Chains A and B, each alone.
Chain A
Amino acid sequence: MTTVANLIAVSTASPSAARKLGHRLIRRSDVSLLLLILVVTGVAAIFLSDFRTLSNINNLLNTTALIAIVAIGEAIVIIARQIDLSVGAILGICAYLVGEWSHRIHGPLGPVFGVCVALALGAVFGLGNGFLVSIFKIPAIIATLATLSIYTGIQVIVNNGTQLYLTQVPPWMAGLRGNAWFGIGTFIWIAFICLLVIGFILRRTRFGRDVYSIGSNPDAAIYLGVPIRRRTFQLFALCGALAGLGGLLYVSQYGNVDATAGSTLNLTVIAAAVVGGVSLFGGSGTALSAVLGALLLGEIQNILELTRISTFAVQTLQGTAIVVAVAVYAVASRRQRRPVRREARIDVSSEGYAAFSSLDGTAEGAVNV
């Protein structure tokens, strides 16, 4: 019994401390990432004349916007110490179906209908993931691996051997990419709105706070009374909804939806979140992190293209960028936290905390201490 009391005492003490630490950490890492992006942009703009053309910047931001929107959804899932490998397939299905169904609705209600359908459809597929993770208790990486194959299969069936052509899509959807409101492309506006909305949700709502608690300390979250099951459903649904919205944008970006739509996106989105500072251990990161990560990756690719470095080198450099980013964040965050991971030292005061924040974080780990 004393063990349990100890655990509860430690758990009530540490999550709020961890969360405060986490929030401070987030702000610092986001700011430093923003500075890094500004520096890179500045250097590129000075040395590469092609970089600072309006069309290049416009292109860069618009392409990044699509990835950023889906990356925000992925970030939510990763913050909760889960993962979603099926976002690309969800995007592809929604791109096709939303494009096809939107043709039936005319008039000003069209965009509203389209966006709602995209969000709802994506959420449905996301709920499928949530169901597997919370009811079937399948680890997220396996569940979403399985749903990746299932949803890809559904995508092929839905496409039925053909594609969705631009002529079959309502004009507001087809022109979304090319339009601009007040001089800034619609994609960028949509990404900005998503950033604000999700940022607000994560910071100020109970849902957001619960996502962070689940991610930083799942066992403590149970003791704190967080409705884990409901939150799991909700966060996967939210991720799916954002992927669906990305699908809506996809139609306009590439003008054509076939059965491979979104397939290249799966790992890129996770890479964007990771580079942006969303830790795969859970509990830290914001929507802004995901957006900045997507922006940095997009910028690196753009610069590599413009400096005429062999296109074959791009993949290598992107992979290395991910590893470097992860290493930098790990080192930076370790300096913030107490040294609980030093193997040799057994720090009595932090032992309870250490037991919880052990890398497996499973129930067995807690009980066995």
Chain B
Amino acid sequence: MSNVRRYVVNWEAGLIVLIVVVLVGGQAVDHDLISSFNLQTTALNNVVLLCLAFGLAPVIMTSDIDLSVVGTLALSGVVMGDLFAHGMNTWLAVAIGLVIALVCGLINGVLVVLFDLPALAVTLGTMGAYTGVSFLILKGLAITTFPNVIVSIGSSNITGTQIPFAVGVLAVIGVVMTYLLHFTAFGRSVFAIGGNRKAALYSGISVNRIRITTFVISGFLAGVAGLLFLGNYQTAQAGMGASELLPAVTAVILGGVSAYGGTGTVPGVALAAVLLALLQSALGLHGLSGEGQTMAIGILLIVAIGTPSLARLFQDWKRRRQPIVSKIATSGASANE
């Protein structure tokens, strides 16, 4: 276990190094990266992304995927906004919105797990369905007035500090998710299912229950992301948040979670999101165009995921070039292990 952790720490260390590189390089070139305004606004721009990523992480770790998180975000956000506009008690409206998000996640879980359908297709369908319902509720309108407390959660700083409240919320979520996935039996089961579902099943893990739970978690956190979206942008409209899906998935993958499941850490996902945010900010400050920024993210993703494979290929190639004599000697030595 400690060895796995050391491997995993290598990935996080790499991310931290990259973050430092971006910070130092960006600051050196543009002198505006590390200012409280920039860091605050960059953080606020990316809270929704990170919240979605925290929810997607356990799902991808069990080798499923959930594309419908943006649909859940839109639906719960629209419902909350609509209820706010009708004067309902703030926290009651928030509770209803989060319950709806939970239900959306549960529907996903039931369809994918109990009916044994491919997650990609199902969540593609439910994404359309949930977004469509958000359109049915709000049509083309937008709600723009929100209770002050929601706005403060989304945009203000924690009293007395320079840290946005939303960042604090995310820190709490991050800690909870880290505990859940790395220090509980639930988390161990998640990784086991991702590594080898059949083996996990045969070792007595209730695979179905855990997989459904991951979908419920992703739905719930998508609802929380919707709440943060409302507070930050102070607008609710059908189809909101659609542009956050790909960046969220990118953050999860960049965070070390393998697409096949079974590896990755929650701090890694958080670091990856921070890296993406800083990279976009640094590039934007330097004047790189919008398309250049998205291209940079794509290239970073390829390099990050591709390098280990390339390294492995290189190792294989080196191993194949060894003279046969020493190969026999080592195979003898390793047979004696």
Judge whether B129 and A319 touch: CB under 8 Å. yes
Interface residues of B in 65-120 (CB under 8 A from A): 65, 71, 111, 115-118, 120
Contact partners of A157 in chain B: CB under 8 A: 291
Q: In the bound complex, how far is the Cα of B125 from the Cα of A318, in angstroms?
A: 7
Select which of A138, A279, A354 is within 8 A of B306 by beta carbon.
Answer: A138
What 1/0 mask marks residues of chain B from 277 to 295 whose CB sits below 8 Å from any chain A CB? Answer: 0000000000001111011
Judge whether B125 and A136 touch: CB under 8 Å. no
What 1/0 mask marks residues of chain A from 308 to 340 whose CB sits below 8 Å from any chain B CB? Answer: 001011111111111100110011001000000
Cβ of B250 < 8 Å from any Cβ of A?
yes
Chain A interface helix/strand/loop/mixed: helix
What's the least CB distance linking B280 to chain A, in Å?
12
> How many residue-residue contacts, CB under 8 A, span A and B?
171
Judge whether A280 and B195 touch: CB under 8 Å. no
What 1/0 mask marks residues of chain A from 149 to 165 whose CB sits below 8 Å from any chain B CB? Answer: 11011111100000000
Judge whether A314 and B132 touch: CB under 8 Å. yes
What's the least CB distance linking A53 to chain B, in Å?
28
Cβ of A270 < 8 Å from any Cβ of B?
yes
Q: In the bound complex, how far is the Cα of B254 from the Cα of A142, in angstroms?
A: 10
Judge whether A322 and B124 touch: CB under 8 Å. yes
Which among A103-111, A215-223, A360-368 touches the partner chain? A360-368
B302's closest neighbor in chain A, by CB? A146
B250's closest neighbor in chain A, by CB? A145
Judge whether A152 and B305 touch: CB under 8 Å. no
A364's closest neighbor in chain B, by CB? B196
Cβ of A289 < 8 Å from any Cβ of B?
no
Judge whether A312 and B198 touch: CB under 8 Å. no
Q: In the bound complex, how far is the Cα of B132 from the Cα of A360, in angstroms?
A: 32
Judge whether A141 and B259 touch: CB under 8 Å. yes
Select which of A270, A280, A314, A360 is within 8 A of B63 by beta carbon.
Answer: A360
Judge whether A142 and B125 touch: CB under 8 Å. no
Judge whether A312 and B136 touch: CB under 8 Å. yes
Contact partners of A145 in chain B: CB under 8 A: 246, 249-250, 253, 298, 301
What 1/0 mask marks residues of chain A from 346 to 360 whose CB sits below 8 Å from any chain B CB? Answer: 000000001100111
Interface residues of A in 138-185 (CB under 8 A from B): 138-139, 141-143, 145-150, 152-157
Contact partners of A243 in chain B: CB under 8 A: none
Judge whether A136 and B122 touch: CB under 8 Å. no
Q: In the bound complex, how far is the Cα of B114 from the Cα of A330, in angstroms?
A: 12
Contact partners of A203 in chain B: CB under 8 A: none
Judge whether B295 and A150 touch: CB under 8 Å. yes
Judge whether B125 and A149 touch: CB under 8 Å. no
Q: In the bound complex, how far is the Cα of B295 from the Cα of A152, in angstroms?
A: 8
Q: In the bound complex, how far is the Cα of B127 from the Cα of A365, in angstroms?
A: 30
Q: In the bound complex, how far is the Cα of B63 from the Cα of A282, in angstroms?
A: 16
What's the least CB distance linking B97 to chain A, in Å?
19
Judge whether A142 and B301 touch: CB under 8 Å. yes
Question: Contacts A322-B128, A358-B197 given: A341-B116 contact, CB under 8 Å?
Answer: yes
Judge whether B125 and A319 touch: CB under 8 Å. yes
Select which of B132, B291, B313 is within 8 A of A156 by beta carbon.
Answer: B291
Interface centre among B128, B196, B258 (most CB of A within 10 A): B128
Question: Contacts A274-B124, A312-B135 given: A152-B294 contact, CB under 8 Å?
Answer: yes
Judge whether A136 and B294 touch: CB under 8 Å. no
B111's closest neighbor in chain A, by CB? A323
A341's closest neighbor in chain B, by CB? B116
Judge whether B131 and A319 touch: CB under 8 Å. yes
What's the least CB distance linking A271 to chain B, in Å?
6
Give 27 pairs: A residue, B residue, CB < 8 Å, sorted on A: A136-B310, A139-B305, A145-B249, A145-B250, A145-B253, A145-B301, A146-B299, A148-B246, A149-B246, A149-B295, A152-B291, A156-B290, A157-B291, A267-B124, A274-B124, A317-B132, A318-B132, A319-B126, A319-B127, A319-B131, A323-B122, A326-B122, A343-B201, A358-B198, A359-B63, A362-B260, A365-B198
Q: What 15 additional pairs, Cβ within 8 angstroms, besides A312-B132, A319-B125? A: A138-B309, A139-B305, A143-B302, A145-B253, A147-B298, A150-B295, A156-B289, A315-B129, A319-B127, A320-B125, A321-B125, A322-B128, A323-B111, A323-B122, A331-B115
